[in-house]
């Protein structure tokens, strides 16, 4: 029996392990499928990580290294090149690697920290052939930053999420010509700073309300046809425009990777595609926790670490048999706010609630209501789907509450 | 003259408005912290960027690197050329200097690679 098994050795898994150790748990095992710790951060060689957490601007590999060092210092055990095959509801993990073969580990508590993968759906709906030269932005990032290959010379990027923006700059710096970044929505899903430093710095056009409608080329991509879309996001035929290119990068969103969670019988939230969790990041199965991008897609790794620390500390308390004062509060949203994490509160303590909005709204008030009465409110000049928002609920606000509504008031 | 900027110092990405008088910054508004004003000042007079990229190691593996401080923006392309011609010796640790003293910065390693 192992006290705590953590599935995934990326930023979430490592932060959770360190937090659990610091809360007194020693018997910890991290299972990682890649050949080193660090997860997706290893290929994110750009800077901008760690401002919240460490007060300095780090690159992805440096941020990961800070945690990896802690894992080594504390002597936390981990297995690399290890693929978890299944997790059972009674917390038995079946995994495989070339050294141990197929093996099982029984755990008192499990933290799911498997991260997310890129959505590929964007590629499916486009007319035309499927020549070489079409990559997800993350795959291209791995080629360029870890393997040293350039996927192509003339590039169009579909989707303006942060990975797409970062890759526009990266490909440009390495000598490619990025001809356009097309975004289906009338706003970008990426951070404003990335539009500025990744696109504007290099005069790369951002074509809002545009999408790729056709792919051209037999063996290798020869170009794409793009078009403007109307309010219902349907392409407008008269606006079709051919752009010659040999590479198309797709940056059309991320989905939490929850096959293992589903196999264990964990309830998922249809909006986030991640497990339904309480304030401790505990799933519907007692002793199984979830954190990081497998729970919901984060905009900043600093928040991933923060969340993983909650999961690590809570798992440690669970293993030590500690429990707080119980309650049962459901968190509801109004549609303008798409979801909250957590979506329920089961223990009376200070709770930081994370959420994302459905659209870009200006001059808003974020209201939290209980029984029709506003118990918390804060103003924001602007909220956008690409950026995570938070509200801090104090313990004393949770007295005699059974349901909390999160509403966005546009002023 | 007025100039609109997006602050890139932190993920908040404040929209800044700079009041310029013949290349001199008269006022900055829209920043929610002092770093924003400093950025606007630099951006309008001597813009700077941190460069992150990769260099090949002696055995062909790929090492991620960065300039350890921002360099003048107009030198970024030149800096990339120098980085692309460099070869890193092994083993290498986070923080090791790979290229010394270019455009007022050092290019340093951002990951570890062991000698085989
Ligand atoms: S002004 Fe301050 S808070 Fe706003 S983006 Fe710049 S550094 Fe961040």
pLDDT tens profile A86-132? 999 999 999 999 999 999 999 999 999 999 999 876 556 788 888 99
**What distance lies between CA A410 and its chain's CA centroid?**
27
Per-residue pLDDT of A15-54, as tens digits, reads: 999 999 999 999 999 999 999 999 999 999 999 999 888 9
Q: Write the CA distances from A279 to A1, A264, A349, B4, B110, integer angstroms.
A: 26, 21, 9, 41, 35
Query: Could you tell me if A56 lies within 8 Å of chain B, comparing CB atoms?
Result: no
Same domain, A165 and A75: no
CA distance A304 to A324: 24
**What backbone phi and psi angles, to 5 degrees, belong to A16?**
-65, -40
Final residue of a domain: which of A323, A342, A371?
A323
**Residues of chain B contacting residue A46, judged by C-beta atoms under 8 Å apart:** 52
The predicted structure's pLDDT at residue A399: 87
| Same-domain status, A232 and A245 | yes
Which of the listed residues A323, A351, A384 is the one where a domain comes to its end?
A323
Q: Contact at 8 Å (CB) between A67 and A55? A: no
Q: In what order do the strands lie in the sheet with A134-136?
A: A134-136, A247-250, A154-158, A177-183, A206-208
The ligand 1 atom nearest the CA atom of B6: 5
Distance from CA of A148 to the nearest CA of B (A): 6
Contacts of A47 in chain B (CB under 8 A): 50, 52, 66
Q: Give the model's pLDDT for residue B116.
A: 72
Give, in order, the Cα–Cα distances in Å from A392 to each of A328, A344, A381: 18, 14, 18
CATH for A76: 3.50.50.60
Q: Are residues B81 and B102 in the same domain?
A: yes
Token pair of A109, please?
A: 């508590």
According to the model, what pLDDT value does residue A121 have?
61
The backbone torsions φ and ψ at residue A192, rounded to the nearest 5 degrees and listed phi first, read: -55, -40
**Searching chain A, which residue's CA lies closest to the CA of residue B83?**
A174
- Provide the Cα torsion B58, B59, B65, B67; round to 10°: 10
Q: Are residues A216 and A269 in the same domain?
A: no
Q: How far apart are the first and last CA of chain B?
A: 58
B19: CB partners within 8 A, 6+ apart: B1, B2, B25, B26, B27, B28, B29
pLDDT of residue A411: 86
Looking at B31, B46, B61, the residue that finishes a domain is B46
- B56 and B42: one domain? no
Regarding whether A319 and A330 lie in a shared domain, the answer is no
State the pLDDT at residue B53.
97
The answer to whether the Cβ–Cβ distance between B111 and A42 falls below 8 Å is yes
Best residue among B6, B11, B12, B13 to mutate for probing ligand 1's pocket (most ligand atoms within 8 Å of CB) is B12
Range of the domain at A411: 325-411
A231 in the same domain as A171: yes
Quick check: is B93 in a domain?
yes
Same domain, A197 and A229: yes
Q: Which residues of chain A have pLDDT under 50?
A: none
Cα separation, A127 vs A227, in Å, equals 13
A317 & A371 share domain:
no
B109: closest chain A residue by CA: A62
pLDDT at B95 over 70: yes
pLDDT of res. B24: 85
Domain match, B28 and B75 both? no
Residues A348 and A286 in one domain: no
Q: Is residue B76 part of a domain?
A: yes
Distance CA A188, CA A203 (A): 16
What per-residue confidence (pLDDT) applies to A120? Answer: 76
Overall domain count for chain A: 3
What is the reported pLDDT for B2? 87
Residue B97 lies inside a defined structural domain of this protein: yes
- B23 or A269, higher pLDDT: A269
Kindly state whether residues A109 and A230 are assigned to the same domain: no
Any CB–CB contact under 8 A between B5 and chain A? yes
How far is A218 from A130, CA to CA, in rounded Å?
7
Q: What is the pTM (predicted TM-score) of this model?
A: 0.93
User: If 0-12 CB within 10 Å is exposed, 13-18 middle and 19+ buried, where does residue A116 land?
Assistant: buried
Do A2 and A109 have their domain in common?
A: yes
CA distance B102 to chain A (A): 17
**Does residue B88 lie in a domain region?**
yes
Same domain assignment for residues B87 and B72: yes
Contact B6 A174 (CB under 8 A): no
**Cβ atoms A116, A255 nearer than 8 A:** yes
Position A381 scores a pLDDT of: 86
What gap in Å lies between CA A365 and CA A250, rounded to an integer?
34
A132 Cβ under 8 Å from any chain B Cβ: no
Same domain, B56 and B87: yes
For chains A and B, CB pairs below 8 A equal: 71
The answer to whether residue B94 neighbours chain A at the CB level (below 8 Å) is yes
- Quick one: which of A247, A220, A244, A249 has its CA closest to A131? A220
Q: Are residues A180 and A266 in the same domain?
A: no
Q: Which residues in chain B are closer than 8 Å to A387, comparing Cβ atoms?
A: 11
Does some domain include residue B94?
Answer: yes
- If you measure from the C-alpha of residue A375 to the centroid of ligand 1, how many angstroms do you get, rounded to a whole number? 29
Question: Residue A122: its pLDDT value, please?
Answer: 59
Chain A, nearest residue to B56 by Cα = A148
Determine contact: A379 vs chain B, CB below 8 A.
Answer: no
| pLDDT for res A325 | 83
Cβ separation of B6 and A61 shorter than 8 Å? Answer: no
The answer to whether residue B114 is domain-embedded is no
Residue from B4, B9, B41 whose mutation best tests the ligand 1 pocket (most atoms within 8 A of CB): B9
Instruction: Give the range of the structural domain holding residue B72, as residue numbers without chain letter.
Output: 52-109
Among A167, A113, A114, A115, which Cα is nearest to A136's?
A: A167
Residues B105 and B57 in one domain: yes
Look at residue A7 in the predicted model and tell me its pLDDT.
98
Task: Please report, for residues A243, A283, A290, the alpha-carbon distance to residue A110 in angstroms, rounded to integers and kept in the order given.
Answer: 49, 10, 8
Residues A143 and A230 in one domain: yes
Residue A123 confidence (pLDDT): 59
Q: Please tell me the total number of residues recorded for chain B in this structure.
A: 116
Q: Which B positions 14-33 lie with beta carbon below 8 A of chain A?
A: 15
CB contact under 8 A, A299 and B56: no
Is residue B115 assigned to a domain? Answer: no
Total structural domains in chain B? 2
Of A198, A231, A252, the position where a domain reaches its end is A252
Please identify which residue in the block is written with the tokens 């804060």.
A378
> How many Å apart are CA A213 and CA A225, to the nearest integer?
6
- Beta-bridge partners for B63: B55
Identity of the residue in B13, B54, B94 whose CB atom sits nearest the CB atom of A148: B54
């Amino acid at each position: 029996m192992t006290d705590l098994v953590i599935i995934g050795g990326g930023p979430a898994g490592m932060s959770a392990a360190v937090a659990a150790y610091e809360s007194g748990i020693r018997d910890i095992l991290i299972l990682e499928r890649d050949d080193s710790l660090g997860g997706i951060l290893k290929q994110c060689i750009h800077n901008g990580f760690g401002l919240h957490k460490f007060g300095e601007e780090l690159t992805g590999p440096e941020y990961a290294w800070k945690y990896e060092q802690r894992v080594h210092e504390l002597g936390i055990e981990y297995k690399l090149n290890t693929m978890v095959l299944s997790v059972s509801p009674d917390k038995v993990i079946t995994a495989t690697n070339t050294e141990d073969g197929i093996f099982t580990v029984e755990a008192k508590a499990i933290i799911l920290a498997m991260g997310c993968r890129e959505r590929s759906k964007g590629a499916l709906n486009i007319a035309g052939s499927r020549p070489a030269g079409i990559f997800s932005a993350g795959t291209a990032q791995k080629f360029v930053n870890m393997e040293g290959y350039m996927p192509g010379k003339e590039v169009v990027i579909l989707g303006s999420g942060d990975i797409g923006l970062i890759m526009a700059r990266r490909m440009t710096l390495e000598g490619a010509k990025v001809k356009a970044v097309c975004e289906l929505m009338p706003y970008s899903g990426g951070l404003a700073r990335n539009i500025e430093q990744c696109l504007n710095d290099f005069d790369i056009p951002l074509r809002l309300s545009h999408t790729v409608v056709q792919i051209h080329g037999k063996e290798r991509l020869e170009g794409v046809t793009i078009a403007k879309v109307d309010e219902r996001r349907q392409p407008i035929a008269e606006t079709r425009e051919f752009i010659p290119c040999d590479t198309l990068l797709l940056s059309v969103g991320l989905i939490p990777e929850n096959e293992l969670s589903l196999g264990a019988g964990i309830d998922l939230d249809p909006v986030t595609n991640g497990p339904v969790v309480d304030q401790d990041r505990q799933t519907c199965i007692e002793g199984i926790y979830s954190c990081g991008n497998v729970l919901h897609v984060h905009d900043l790794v600093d928040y991933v670490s923060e969340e993983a620390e909650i999961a690590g500390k809570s798992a440690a308390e669970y293993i030590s048999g500690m429990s707080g004062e119980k309650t049962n509060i459901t968190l509801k949203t109004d549609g303008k706010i798409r979801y909250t994490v957590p979506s329920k509160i089961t223990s009376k303590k200070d709770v930081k609630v994370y959420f994302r909005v459905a659209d870009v709204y200006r001059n808003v008030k974020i209201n939290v209501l209980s029984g029709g009465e506003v118990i918390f409110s804060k103003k924001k000049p602007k909220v956008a789907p690409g950026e995570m928002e938070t509200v801090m609920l104090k313990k004393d606000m949770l007295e005699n509450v059974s349901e909390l509504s999160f509403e966005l008031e546009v002023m | 003259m007025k100039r609109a900027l997006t602050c890139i110092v932190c993920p908040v990405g404040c929209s800044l408005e700079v009041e310029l008088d013949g290349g001199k910054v008269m006022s900055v508004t829209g920043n929610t912290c002092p770093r924003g004003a400093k950025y606007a000042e630099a951006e309008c007079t001597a813009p700077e960027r941190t460069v992150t990229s990769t260099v090949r190691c002696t055995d062909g593996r790929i090492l991620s690197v960065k300039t350890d401080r921002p360099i003048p923006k107009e030198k970024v392309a030149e800096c990339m050329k120098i980085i692309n011609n460099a070869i890193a010796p092994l083993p290498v640790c986070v923080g090791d200097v790979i290229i010394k003293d270019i455009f007022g910065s050092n290019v340093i390693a951002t990951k570890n690679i062991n000698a085989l």
